[in-house]
Amino acid sequence: MDYLNRLKIIAENNGGIINNKIAAEQGVSRAILSKLCLDNKIQRIARGQYVFNDDMQDELLSISMRSNLFVFSHETALFLHGISDRTPFEHTITAPSGKVPSKAIQEECKIYYIKLELFDLGKTMLTTPSGNKVAGYDLERTICDIVRSRNKVGSETFLAALKMYAVSPKKDLNKLNAYATEMKIAGVVRKYLEVLL
């Protein structure tokens, strides 16, 4: 089997992304990956990640494959839940306090930090527009994050998210209240949603 066929299988099994560690396990060295880049067979999209030139890159999957220390949150989670119709200009992630994402992720993403005991609250797998699964927060946790960070996300995003959540058939007000209580923002969430519900 030639190198390109091995890489095609790796890409098919990883949302179109060729990870250099997986490639090395399959007998394709970094030197070969570099040569294939020079020959314009593949292109480097991030450190240790490549795609075939004719493949659409799933940016969210690429970011998520670089670390398991964060989840997509805030504006990016709203977009993945269909509560925002705009692709975020800058992807937003949440990391546990004290865990600093890599410099590359810091340059690409807006980062929020939260206490470790709240980090896993509402954590789930979300589907990207390309159909791949990435770690993110469920809808109720996302609304709590938007309310909690309302001064940082912008009033337009904040109000639009609350209005769309209020009319969403997927909303779970009991879960929202439980999360808001745990995050100590139940009164604030109630104040804003009482106007809309």
Q: Give 163-196 pLDDT, tens digit per residue.
A: 999 998 989 999 999 999 999 999 999 998 887 7
Amino acid at 118: L
Q: Residue 120: its pLDDT value, please?
A: 96
CB of 20 within 8 A of CB of 49?
A: yes
What's the alpha-carbon Rg for the chain, to the nearest Å? 19
Long-range Cβ contacts of 179-183 (<8 Å, 24+ apart): 179/121, 179/122, 179/140, 179/141, 179/144, 180/144, 180/147, 182/118, 182/121, 183/118, 183/121, 183/144, 183/148
- The residue behind tokens 């964060």 is 70
Share of the chain above pLDDT 70, in %: 98
Model confidence over 75-106: pLDDT tens digits?
A: 999 999 988 767 777 899 999 998 888 888 88
Q: Residue 197: its pLDDT value, please?
A: 62
Beta strand 42-46 with 18-19 is unpaired
Please report which helix (H) or strand (E) contains residue 99, including its range.
none
pTM of the predicted protein model: 0.81
Range with the poorest average pLDDT among 17-21, 27-31, 87-91, 143-147: 87-91
